[in-house]
């Protein structure tokens, strides 16, 4: 999913976002987030039916069209409770064969460790489609500000919400979209990673976007990414 109704991201914002790509054709599949210099957090769905040799990571560029050297992946670890049916626990960790060297435009993000207040302002980043059904993606990284919803409110709007998922919404016409999966939802106050984009509804912004809650999965993330 790409972002609909967002704006171009500032140059030094979100230095932790990466593009996860197929080795063949190097096309952008989904986003990911550097949580350590050698570990990327993304969605499990992005890695299904793909091996370490099928994927590479591009980091340190806010443009999809870049001459940055692709980074190889040595290990893919999907969340043990991931369900392809319900989409629950839609997380995977990708270990890079070599750590990145941090700079102003390339770095890691801390994990959110607190329960997020309803209505909290968040920033979401992605290169996804600019409209539903489009097969072209944004070359420039896009930002969308959203507000966190309570799980009760989210369930009422979506009818179902998997365990460990959270929601955010702003208004119709502004939403995450195709190939935005794996992108970071960042708490504006603390600048910590709050969620990983899992799925939305036709990029409309009428219904909430759904993210995997980082805080409730933090034990698995920390114990795996070593």
As a residue count, the chain comes to 226
* pLDDT 10s digits, 137-165: 889 999 999 999 999 999 999 988 999 99
Check residue 163 and report its DSSP letter: T
pLDDT digits (tens, 9 = 90+) for 102-122: 998 999 999 999 988 999 999
Average pLDDT over the chain, rounded to whole? 93
Which positions ≥6 away from 138 have C-beta within 8 Å? 2, 3, 64, 126, 127, 128, 129, 130
- CATH number listed for the domain at residues 17-108+219-224: 2.40.10.10
- pTM summary value: 0.95
pLDDT band at 77 (very low <50, low <70, confident <90, very high): very high
Q: In the predicted model, what is the mean pLDDT of residues 10-24? A: 94
With a pLDDT cut of 90, the percent of the chain lying above it is: 77
Positions of CATH 2.40.10.10 in the chain: 7-11+109-215, 17-108+219-224
Q: Which residues are registered as beta bridge partners of 36?
A: 39
Minimum mean pLDDT among 72-76, 102-106, 192-196: which range? 102-106
CA atoms within 13 A on the CB side of 106: 17
Is the CATH number of domain 7-11+109-215 2.40.10.10? yes
pLDDT of 1 higher than 70? no
């Amino acid at each position: 999913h790409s972002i609909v109704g967002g704006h171009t991201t500032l140059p030094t914002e979100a230095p932790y976002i990466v593009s996860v790509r197929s080795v063949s054709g190097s096309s952008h599949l989904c986003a990911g987030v550097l949580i350590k210099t050698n570990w990327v957090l993304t969605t499990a769905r992005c890695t299904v039916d793909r091996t370490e040799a099928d994927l590479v990571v591009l980091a340190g560029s806010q443009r999809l069209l870049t001459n940055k050297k692709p980074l190889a992946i040595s290990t893919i670890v999907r969340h043990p409770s991931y369900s392809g049916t319900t989409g629950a626990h839609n997380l995977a960790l990708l270990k890079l064969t070599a750590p990145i060297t941090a700079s102003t435009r390339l770095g890691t993000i801390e994990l959110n460790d607190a329960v997020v207040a309803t209505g909290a302002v968040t920033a979401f980043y992605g290169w996804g489609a600019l409209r539903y059904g489009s097969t072209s993606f944004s070359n420039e990284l896009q930002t969308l500000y959203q507000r966190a919803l309570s799980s009760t409110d989210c369930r009422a709007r979506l009818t179902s919400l998997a365990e460990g998922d959270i929601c955010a919404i702003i208004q119709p016409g502004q939403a995450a979209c195709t190939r935005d999966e794996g992108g970071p939802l960042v708490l504006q106050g603390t600048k910590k990673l709050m969620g990983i984009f899992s799925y939305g509804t036709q990029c409309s912004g009428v219904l909430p976007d759904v993210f995997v809650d980082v805080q409730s999965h933090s034990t698995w993330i920390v114990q795996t990414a070593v």
